[in-house]
Amino acid sequence: MSHDLPATADVVIIGGGVMGASTAYHLARAGTKNVVLLEREDYFGQGATGRCAGGVRYQFATEVNVRLSIASLAMIERFAEEMDQPADYRPCGYLFVLTTPEDVARFEHNVALQRRLGVPTEWLSGDEVRQRLPLMCFEDALAGTYHARDGLADPNSIVMGYLGRARPLGVQALAGVTVQGISVAGGRVTAVVTGAGTISTGAVVNAAGPWAGHVGAMAGVDIPITPIRRQMLTTTPLPELPADFPFVVDFARSLYFHREGEGILTGMSNPHEKPGFSQKVDEEWELVAMEAAARRLPLLEKAGRVAGWAGLYEVTPDAHPIFGPTPVAGFWLVGGFSGHGFMHGPIAGKLMAEFLLEGQSRSVDVSMLDLARFDEGRLIHEYNVI
Ligand SMILES: Cc1cc2nc3c(=O)[nH]c(=O)nc-3n(C[C@H](O)[C@H](O)[C@H](O)COP(=O)(O)OP(=O)(O)OC[C@H]3O[C@@H](n4cnc5c(N)ncnc54)[C@H](O)[C@@H]3O)c2cc1C
């Protein structure tokens, strides 16, 4: 569809997931006229964004992640009103169940941090966890944490909401266009080469999610984002599940459950998963995960499997995202959210617009999440990774 491709653009964004869509909208809203968003799939939001669990939470272990959640979840809560598109935000609460003394100590610290930043996370004893989850077997629970405004939202609605508002502001969002190369001259970006033609531009945003490393290599920039497969499944209806069943995380096992329609969505991270781009369901791991899930929620033995799928986490060495400039002038990066980027996508796009237009992040200070931190040894580890 070369006729759709403009010869020049003020900004080209590569990747039509939540990061690309939010960045395009926020740039256009701030007045950037000639923004082009390129997505290689036939539809937007089919990468990590479309395969994610839809969880949104305030409960993180570092100040910057809690601040990103405070800003981003407020945008998700207001999405329907501001973007004219319901985001299906359901504040069912996240209940982290802790079964090791080490996790209890770490979460005590995390909850103190969250409360200091204005997030009123509740601390539960082991007995309180068991009372709140009568259908589950948590005889080994030592403690738990619960925050009522954590919950779920719909990834597709967020992507479509941003694109729907970005297009009338002049953004050309083109699906089915694969970026094959990035031209650099004198240390500056000059063009984006695609299967449908070349766009001259002085500004490119790499929002390619798990594929951000490939796109970085096109500009000669090394980006430490590793794709790691994660998978989940959904079940047939379970009428016994109460309407207020929370998003439950068996933290030590990286095993989680939440209501999906009338049934359950459950997944468990495979700690031995090797980096790679396969998005095929690992059937052996699905059995292991299903057995672990049924031990915690015996009701699952009565349920049928409706669907299962796999997607890619975009993992950095410190489980924090990377924002901002790269060593190539005009080549920007937003990525590496390490499995919790859907919820931070709204604020991430706003921050990228600030970086491109004002040279720095203003709404939330993410200056410490720069690409240079990996070379300079300034890593900030996130403990609450599922
Ligand atoms: C199984 C799973 C569960 C998850 N659960 C949650 C959750 O509960 N909550 C949460 O907040 N996050 C969750 N995440 C993480 C979240 O999905 C990601 O952090 C987020 O979606 C990343 O968005 P993105 O826009 O950077 O990447 P993507 O959505 O992957 O978008 C990148 C896009 O770039 C495109 N692209 C790549 N290369 C090119 C190219 N050369 N040319 C053109 N286009 C290209 C891809 O096709 C893709 O559409 C989960 C992820 C997975 C895999």
pLDDT along the chain (386 residues), means of 10: 80 98 98 97 97 96 97 97 95 98 97 98 98 98 98 97 97 98 98 97 98 98 98 97 96 97 96 97 97 98 96 97 98 97 98 98 98 95 84
How far, in Å, from the CA of 48 to the mean position of ligand 1? 3
Return the pLDDT at 385: 84
Please, are residues 351 and 363 in contact by the beta-carbon 8 Å criterion? yes
Return the pLDDT at 1: 43
Ligand 1 in contact with 21 (CB < 6 A)? Answer: no
Q: Which residues pair with 124 in a beta bridge?
A: 144
How far, in Å, from the CA of 350 to the mean position of ligand 1? 17
Ligand 1 in contact with 229 (CB < 6 A)? Answer: no
Return the pLDDT at 2: 45
How far, in Å, from the CA of 209 to the mean position of ligand 1? 5
Return the pLDDT at 383: 83
How far, in Å, from the CA of 238 to the mean position of ligand 1? 30
Count of residues in the chain: 386
Residue of 4, 46, 49 to mutate, ligand 1, most atoms within 8 A of C-beta: 49
Ligand 1 in contact with 216 (CB < 6 A)? Answer: no
Looking at ligand 1, which atom is closest to the CA of residue 55?
A: 8
Return the pLDDT at 239: 95
Long-range contacts of 361-367 (CB under 8 A, 24+ apart): 361/323, 361/324, 363/71, 364/64, 364/67, 364/68, 364/71, 365/64, 365/67, 366/64, 366/68, 366/321, 366/323, 366/324, 367/324
Looking at ligand 1, which atom is closest to the CA of residue 232?
A: 1
| 240: Cβ contacts below 8 Å, ≥ 6 apart | 135, 299
Looking at residue 118, the DSSP 8-state letter turns out to be T
Ligand 1 in contact with 335 (CB < 6 A)? Answer: yes
Token reading at 370: 């720069």
| 365: Cβ contacts below 8 Å, ≥ 6 apart | 64, 67
How far, in Å, from the CA of 80 to the mean position of ligand 1? 22
How far, in Å, from the CA of 243 to the mean position of ligand 1? 29
Token reading at 66: 């809690």
User: Which H or E element spans position 259?
Assistant: strand 255-260
Alpha-carbon distance of 334 to 343, in angstroms, equals 14
Token reading at 89: 């935000």
**What b-and-e string marks burial along 25-52, b requiring 16 or more CB atoms within 10 Å of the CB?**
bbbbbeebebbbbbbbeeebbbbbbbbb
Q: For the sheet containing 188-194, what is the strand order?
A: 8-9, 197-201, 188-194, 179-185
Alpha-carbon distance of 286 to 58, in angstroms, equals 28
Residue type, 232: M
Ligand 1 in contact with 213 (CB < 6 A)? Answer: no
Ligand 1 in contact with 264 (CB < 6 A)? Answer: no
Return the pLDDT at 312: 98
Ligand 1 in contact with 18 (CB < 6 A)? Answer: yes
Ligand 1 in contact with 179 (CB < 6 A)? Answer: yes
Residue whose CA is at the smallest distance from ligand 1 atom 33: 15
Q: Terminal CA-to-CA distance of the chain, rounded, Å?
A: 40
How far, in Å, from the CA of 342 to the mean position of ligand 1? 8
pTM, rounded to two decimals:
0.97
Residue type, 85: Q
Q: How far is CA 32 from the centre of its chain?
A: 25
Residue of 23, 52, 256, 382 to mutate, ligand 1, most atoms within 8 A of C-beta: 52
Q: Which residues pair with 175 in a beta bridge?
A: 39
Ligand 1 in contact with 191 (CB < 6 A)? Answer: no
| 72: Cβ contacts below 8 Å, ≥ 6 apart | 56, 343, 344, 345, 346, 347, 348
Ligand 1 in contact with 20 (CB < 6 A)? Answer: yes
